[in-house]
A and B are shown apart, each in its own frame.
Chain A
Amino acid sequence: MTVKMEASAGKLSHNTLMTYGLVIAVVGTYLTYLNVITGMAVFSFFGGIAAVAALWWGSDTIKHLCSYGLGTGVPSAGMIAFGSGAIAMIVGTKFGMASPIVTLILAAILGAVIGYTANNIINMNIPVMVMSLMELAIVGAMTMLGFAAMCTGSFNFSDMIIGSMSLSIESAGAAAGGAQQFLVTAVPQYGNSLIGGSALAVIFFLGALALQHPFNACLGPNESQDRTLMLALSCGFLSMIAVAVMSLVFVGLLAGTVNIIISLIAWFYCYKSYIELSKRDAYAWLDSKPIIEVGGDQ
């Protein structure tokens, strides 16, 4: 494509951003394991931090990819990121302690194949295509894993599919002496879990909206990196608030409240900073006021 859109160079190089995003995402997801070590669920919010870090990195990747003019709009990049990320993430959670790492590797392979398909079979011929779709698939997968870990307090497949255990009591017939015997077994309930209740689909779109919005909103000749990234953080924490509300069901009142408070404070700070950066970049800023009543004949 000949038309190249304006994208600011920015203070942080893309590789630095990617390193920070990736490391925080993986470490943050692993920190939710503190829940298992301490036996509490209050460390769930680290999953949300991990997801927001991934979104922060991903919005810069989208900027690099979409500056080539795909002709399909910026949101499509967010959709393909989460479409491929969801597949990698659900399968990745099967691997117990190694889940975050396996998710990352699966997403990278999946993204590379889709990137190759887009670049060489569909003939997009965009130099950053394979790398960008690979990064976006990882972003999608790590965001979903982070939010899912925040929601359930764990990154294990079994914790995401089993909502609760119910006891099933069957009569095992009368034993000798006439006493009635019962066979009690614990039956896992799947319908009220994160995946079984399809709450994961909500996380899917919460993440996709947060990923595709920042560059779509900020693009243009006056785009500046810190403002786009601040909007990415703001959108990420906004999604995190919704996930925190969902987490009340799965991790209990205390941990859920901690999640909500942390995400509210973080969102408020980022949104305020974003408005300040917008004022800085704007040519002029007029705060809206009530319409002034003009007296007299006018």
Chain B
Amino acid sequence: MSALGGAAAGGEGLNMTGTIVGIVIILVSLGATAVLGASLVVPLVGIIVGGALIGFGVHFVPVGGAPAAMGQAPGIATGVAMLAAGAGLAGLFGGAWAYEATGDFLISILGGAVGGGLMMAITCLMVNATYVFAMGIPAASGKVAKDPITGDSFPEYKSQGTEGHGLPFISFVGGVIGGTIAGLGGTLIYIELLAAYQTGLATMMQADAEAIAPLAISLAGIFAIGFFLVNAVLAAYNITGTIEGPHDPKFKRVPRAVIGCAVASAFCGLISLLLVMNIGM
């Protein structure tokens, strides 16, 4: 699939009609939440911000897909959705553990960010070790002539007929930044949902918060994975195949993904918060 991809599906730039409809969807979701349960507006805002952060962060991650596995494109040799899910879930576990241990909001989301960034740093390091020592290919980007950070030049090392290969330093840095932002977003969604469910479910089932804790944690975790996958795949659709990192021209498409992920998160958030609103049962 990635080998066939290439040209942007709908070109660059924003689709104004779509964007305006999207903003209306966000406002309607917020309005509906305010009517059905006023205390849930803050968690929903957290979810929207978290979703937008995931969509933004995924664009930093150097994704090479199948061509990268054959040494014909730079980046990590797997798909966007898999890589984003890996980084995000690693972050989410880190953040969830930090929340369990400390209960502090700031430490938890930073823990999630560090978890995601660390996972991407390890992945990038081992990918580069494999490229250099096992496949015998140097790191060279095909999109820029010089590394924006180190100033290393690429064209001399780039093989003919490829778009570059290996994982240049800028892509490594992009991967770590992307993992950090995506992990932060994922953890933010998890913590907002957890807070909403812990209080909401306890009132709904007339049980004390301690008895309901395993249920709230499981629900928030499963929903957070669901949100993460939806946002990561939407970002992947925006990237269409491969991206080298923040220096790639495709990075200019990022506003579309941020708006798209915010819209999808707003609506998914509304549905997931219906669970603790006064309907049904």
Contact = CB atoms under 8 A, between A and B. Distances in A.
A204 B222 contact: yes
Pairs A-B, 5 closest by C-beta atoms: A71-B5, A123-B10, A120-B18, A83-B229, A71-B240
Interface in A188-213: 188, 190-191, 193, 195-198, 200-201, 204
B5 A69 contact: yes
Interface in B226-254: 226-230, 232-234, 236-241
A95 interface: yes
Contacts, number: 202
B1 interface: yes
B194 interface: no
Contacts of A161: 215
Nearest to A115: B264
A173 B109 CA distance: 47
B203 interface: no
Nearest to B236: A72
A122 B237 contact: yes
Contact of A195 (B215, B233, B260, B263): B215
Given A72-B79, A95-B280, A117 B264 contact: yes
A175 B84 CA distance: 63
B215 A190 contact: yes
Interface of B: 1-2, 4-11, 15, 17-19, 21-22, 25, 65, 79-82, 85, 205, 207, 211-212, 214-215, 218-219, 221-223, 225-230, 232-234, 236-241, 256-257, 259-260, 263-264, 267-268, 271-272, 274-275, 279-281
30 contacts: A69-B1, A69-B4, A71-B5, A71-B239, A76-B236, A80-B230, A90-B223, A91-B272, A91-B274, A94-B279, A94-B281, A95-B280, A110-B268, A117-B18, A117-B234, A120-B18, A121-B15, A122-B237, A123-B8, A123-B18, A124-B237, A161-B215, A188-B207, A190-B211, A191-B214, A195-B218, A195-B222, A196-B215, A198-B218, A201-B221
A238 to B, nearest CB: 21
B5 to A, nearest CB: 3
A292 interface: no
A85 B207 CA distance: 28
Nearest to A189: B211
A116 B226 contact: no
Interface in A53-84: 66, 69-77, 79-80, 82-84
Given A76-B81, A86-B222, A96-B280, A71 B233 contact: no
A87 interface: yes
A31 interface: no
A158 to B, nearest CB: 8
A118 B22 CA distance: 11
A265 interface: no
A83 B225 contact: yes
A187 interface: yes
A270 interface: no
Given A5-B4, A87-B268, A123-B10, A193 B215 contact: yes
B264 A201 contact: no
Given A72-B79, A79-B85, A90 B211 contact: no
A76 B234 CA distance: 9
Contacts of B272: 87, 90-91
Interface in A92-146: 94-96, 102, 106, 110, 113-114, 116-126
Contacts of B225: 83, 86, 201, 204
Contacts of B214: 190-191, 196-197
Given A86-B223, A87-B268, A204-B225, A118 B237 contact: yes
